[in-house]
């Protein structure tokens, strides 16, 4: 299913709707690229608000698809990761203002997708946030660690990624994971208002300044993170200890042993 794109004045509101929880799989990746192709073609000068549906912004990687992948060939995992990397990299470097309207829970890759937007606005309530990859046997890609360090600073990125803590809305706001929190009924209006802060005739200036701000992070990604990911990431995702952790977490989550 193609993501919905709705114009609110000069802002393009993009609603992720690949599946009910926006679990990130190959269909989600394809939908993201298709949506941003449409933005570049039909809404090139629009600031962008990205949001989810229901009680979830995004549940992160589709574990049914990816644990099966990680149980297989390392080379296929390495090829898959290049596709995955391209999604959040495209969002991170998008030249127009990007605001994540975080309507609900955001875990793992879903929280990364919110974090690589320029601003994050959360809905008050009982949503939870966390990056639990390490605790379920998935090494955090170096490229994403660099993006999260850019977005949150080193202390918050380290705390969030190393120990897999789950945070409330209030905690996420206090840590800077969410820049603002508003009542749920005000979420989209506030996100659109933030997206509109840059005047229309200053969008190229915004793009230049964003590119300049991100230059050190992009340099580190090219020189340090990408080589590390190419050398070690797929092997870490498919190692025997990681696969044991995948099976253990699957049984905890689903209540039955894995069939892969």
In sign, the C-alpha dihedral spanning 158, 159, 161, 163 is: positive
196 is catalytic: no
- Residue 100's CB is within 10 A of a number of other CB atoms, namely 28
Burial 2-35 (b: 16+ CB within 10 A, else e): ebebeebeebbbbbbbbbebbbbbeebbebbeeb
Catalytic residue among 34, 65, 133, 200: 133
With contact defined as beta carbons under 8 Å apart, do 77 and 43 qualify?
Answer: no
Tokens for 76, please give them. 């296929």
* Selection from 111, 108, 126 nearest residue 164 by Cα: 108
Is 184 strand, coil or helix? helix
Active site residue ranges: 133
């Amino acid at each position: 299913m193609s993501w919905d794109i709705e114009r609110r004045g000069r802002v393009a509101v993009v609603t992720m709707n690949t599946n009910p929880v926006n679990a990130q799989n190959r269909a989600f990746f394809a939908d993201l690229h298709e949506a941003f192709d449409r933005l570049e073609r039909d809404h090139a000068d629009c600031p962008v608000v990205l949001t989810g549906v229901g009680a979830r912004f995004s549940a992160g990687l589709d574990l049914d698809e990816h644990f099966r992948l990680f149980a297989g060939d390392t080379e296929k995992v390495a090829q898959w990761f290049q596709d995955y990397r391209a999604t959040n990299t495209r969002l991170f470097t998008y030249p127009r203002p990007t605001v994540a309207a975080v309507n609900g829970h955001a875990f793992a890759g879903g929280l990364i997708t919110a974090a690589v937007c320029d601003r994050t606005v959360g809905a008050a309530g009982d949503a939870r946030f966390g990056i639990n990859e390490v605790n379920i046997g998935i090494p955090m890609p170096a490229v994403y660690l660099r993006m999260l360090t850019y977005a949150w600073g080193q202390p918050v990125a380290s705390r969030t990624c190393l120990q897999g803590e789950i945070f409330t809305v209030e905690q996420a706001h206090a840590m800077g994971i969410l820049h603002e929190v508003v009542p749920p009924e005000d979420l989209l209006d506030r996100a659109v208002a933030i997206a509109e802060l840059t005047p229309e005739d200053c969008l190229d200036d915004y793009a230049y300044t964003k590119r300049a701000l991100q230059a050190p992070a992009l340099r580190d990604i090219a020189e340090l993170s990408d080589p590390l990911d190419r050398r070690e990431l797929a092997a870490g995702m498919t190692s025997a200890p990681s696969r044991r952790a995948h099976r253990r977490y699957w049984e905890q989550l689903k209540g039955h042993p894995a069939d892969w």
